[in-house]
Amino acid sequence: MRHPDDAALRRMEEELGEITGTGEAAGGLVRAVTGPSGRLLDIVFDPRVMRLDSHELAREVGAAVRRAQEDGERRARELVDGTLGPAGSGGAPGEPLDHARFWNGLERMSRDFERSMAEQEAELARRLGNLDRF
């Protein structure tokens, strides 16, 4: 593991706080943007997406958000690896930055976010289903 200076670590921390991920689904009809924690920041629908039924739309929204999350995770990993060196590149016990702990925490946040997104997808599907009644 590389030993970056304090300025490099501060830059990395700032940049991690600004990372966004983007994802598309339904052939580009649904676009999602997620923030540093994987939280949904924006979703854009092409008007042609209204041709999809509510269940298909809900699946496509979920797919776009997951792709945006994956993109954000990839960008974060590239940033950290660029600053600290690739995970598993060595290092002595007791070094100030624990790569494994960092990635485990990121994976835990990702699982929590995925669970939250599944709940949001279910709620969106329920609400879209209610629209079908009108």
Summarised one tens digit per residue, pLDDT across range 16-45 is 888 999 999 999 999 999 998 889 999 999
Residue 81: what pLDDT?
80
User: 47 or 113: which carries more pLDDT confidence?
Assistant: 47
- For domain 4-95, give the fold: Ybab; Chain: A; (3.30.1310)
Domain ranges of the chain: 4-95, 98-133
Residue 93: what pLDDT?
42
Length of the chain counted residue by residue:
134
Residue 74: what pLDDT?
92
Residue 97: what pLDDT?
53
Q: How far is CA 106 from the centre of its chain?
A: 10
Residue 94: what pLDDT?
45
CB 64 within 8 A of CB 25: yes
The tens digit of pLDDT for each residue in 52-100 reads: 999 999 999 999 999 999 999 999 888 888 877 765 544 444 455 566 6
